[in-house]
Amino acid sequence: MGLLDRIEKNKNIDGEQTNDNKPVVDEFLEIKRKIHSRVIDEINKKEQKDINDTYVRKIITKAVEEDGSDAGKTERAKITEDIYNDIMGYGPIEELLKDPDVSEIMVNGPNKIFIEKSGKIFLSPMRFRNDEHVLNVIDRIVSQVGRHIDEASPMVDARLKDGSRVNAIIPPISLVGPILTIRKFSKKRITHNQLVDWGSATPKMLSFLEACVRGKLNIIVAGGTGSGKTTLLNVLSSFIPSDERIVTIEDAAELQLHQEHLITLESRPANLEGSGQISIRNLVKNALRMRPDRIIVGEVRSGEALDMLQAMNTGHDGSLTTTHANSPRDTLARLETMVMMAGMELPLKAIREQVCSAVDIIVQQSRLQDGSRKIINITEITGMESDMVSMQDIFVYETRGERDNVGRFKGEFRATGIKPKCLDKIIGNGVSVSNEWFR
């Protein structure tokens, strides 16, 4: 969809009522509508090749100065920005996308925009005018990545240019109007020191995990939605030596690695005709032919778990991935289920032997009720006992059931005192360890 088409689609700027019959109050609504209409008329007179950000902002500023003289200087600046965002950006959520403190944006219909800051969810004062306004923004987002959404295909996954993940679902599937969820892509590289400052882990825990990565242990980061799995995977990936060949595989490119020998692959959904899909599993299989030292999969969700385990078992030590699970034991159950989804009809004992042979460490990440994100378990898989995979905790986080003055949980990280069996493999790969980590 061209710029002029998008502008025509966004032409209506009025104050219609929202789904819950509460009008969006805007004292400058009439001025905005008049200026918006004038700007659209000016743009339509130009060739599309001559329309750019500078040109649009120039004619908006001119129109605001002439037609918005009754408003103060601050109000005129706000009117200018709102109209520009409506025509060229993503409407009322444009400001939220630019706010570095906002990590997630959740649009529940036109009249409720929730945001996540510091792990907590708040209702934003921002509003869309009506359902059509939300649909215009959704269509603008998905059309930029070659996707389409309508009543026949009412759900879509996409991403913004900066890598932020977008999910949209519209009526008739949604009964509260168009729904838009954006997981923002962090432009700042998170370091292990920041995890310590935030209270997500201790220096000893991260020193041990650094040794695990450098010592080529296979690691799974597990946790719930929004628990910080990808952030932790980014930090762990930064420990990989710069002379190793790394292949990353993701649904939406979020990993921020700075090693020189890096190949980034991204899956592709099916097109409107239902063909052309490139799945995570296809990419994992292909990565094995690319001579990688490390394979990093953003998240395993289904049959690709089997291919990931095969890679870990066939010379690609030091591979990393994440998965959704609520505990280390639950991670094993999830892996078994995902391997079964590959359709190989392997016996359960054989699957568990594969998991036991492939995975060395499970790092359990969690978002607590106070909004903080912490590593609550670092668990080692030690072998098989009868038909069960045995494991042992190396580090745990224990809460006291109390809160401090600012509402955060009181608790502490604790080493269990167990010396991991995997230290032999770490030392064998030329990485030094310290017994002090486990005391």
DSSP string, 37-49: HHHHHHHHTS-GG
For residues 264 and 253, the answer to whether their CB atoms sit within 8 Å is yes
For residues 307 and 284, the answer to whether their CB atoms sit within 8 Å is yes
Provide, rounded to the nearest whole percent, the portion of the chain with pLDDT above 70: 87
Strand partners, 397: 413
Mean pLDDT of 58-65: 74
> What per-residue confidence (pLDDT) applies to 98?
85
Residue 13 pLDDT > 80, yes or no? no
Read off the pLDDT band of 116 (50, 70, 90): very high
* CATH architecture, range 92-186: 2-Layer Sandwich (3.30)
Closest CA to 418 of 400, 392, 381, 398: 392
Between 79-88, 123-132, 206-215, 224-233, the lowest mean confidence (pLDDT) is in: 79-88
For residues 39 and 59, the answer to whether their CB atoms sit within 8 Å is yes
Residue 7 pLDDT > 50, yes or no? no
Q: Is the pTM of this model over 0.95?
A: no
Residue 360 pLDDT > 50, yes or no? yes
Read off the pLDDT band of 95 (50, 70, 90): confident
What CA dihedral angle connects 277, 282, 286 and 287, to 10 degrees?
110
> What per-residue confidence (pLDDT) applies to 318?
92
> What per-residue confidence (pLDDT) applies to 72?
65
Mean pLDDT of 71-79: 72
Read off the pLDDT band of 70 (50, 70, 90): low
Mean pLDDT of 68-84: 71
Query: pLDDT tens digits for 207-228?
Result: 999 999 999 999 999 999 888 8
Between 60-74, 212-226, 329-343, 377-391, the lowest mean confidence (pLDDT) is in: 60-74
More confident residue, 353 or 344: 353
| Helical segments of 241-322, H only | 280-287, 304-313
Residue 8 pLDDT > 60, yes or no? no
CATH 3.40.50.300, applies to 192-438: yes
Residue 408 pLDDT > 80, yes or no? no
Residue 12 pLDDT > 60, yes or no? no
Residue 366 pLDDT > 60, yes or no? yes
Read off the pLDDT band of 24 (50, 70, 90): very low
More confident residue, 82 or 139: 139
Residue 422 pLDDT > 90, yes or no? yes
Taking each continuous run of H as one helix and of E as one strand, the counts in the chain are: 14, 15
Read off the pLDDT band of 47 (50, 70, 90): low
Mean pLDDT of 308-321: 89
> What per-residue confidence (pLDDT) applies to 397?
94
Mean pLDDT of 66-71: 64
Provide, rounded to the nearest whole percent, the portion of the chain with pLDDT above 90: 41
Residue 345 pLDDT > 80, yes or no? yes
CA 192/CA 202 separation, integer angstroms: 10
Mean pLDDT of 25-31: 60
Mean pLDDT of 46-73: 68
> What per-residue confidence (pLDDT) applies to 71?
66
Read off the pLDDT band of 22 (50, 70, 90): very low
CA 364/CA 410 separation, integer angstroms: 19
CA 386/CA 398 separation, integer angstroms: 30
Q: Domain map of the chain by residue range? A: 1-88, 92-186, 192-438
Query: pLDDT tens digits for 255-301?
Result: 888 888 999 998 887 776 777 888 888 999 899 889 999 999 988 98
Q: Which two tokens stand for residue 330?
A: 């639950």
More confident residue, 111 or 404: 111
For residues 298 and 249, the answer to whether their CB atoms sit within 8 Å is yes
Residue 18 pLDDT > 80, yes or no? no
Mean pLDDT of 173-188: 87
Mean pLDDT of 60-73: 69
Residue 166 pLDDT > 50, yes or no? yes
Q: What angle do the packed helices 348-358 and 304-313 form, to 10 degrees?
A: 50
CA 186/CA 273 separation, integer angstroms: 33
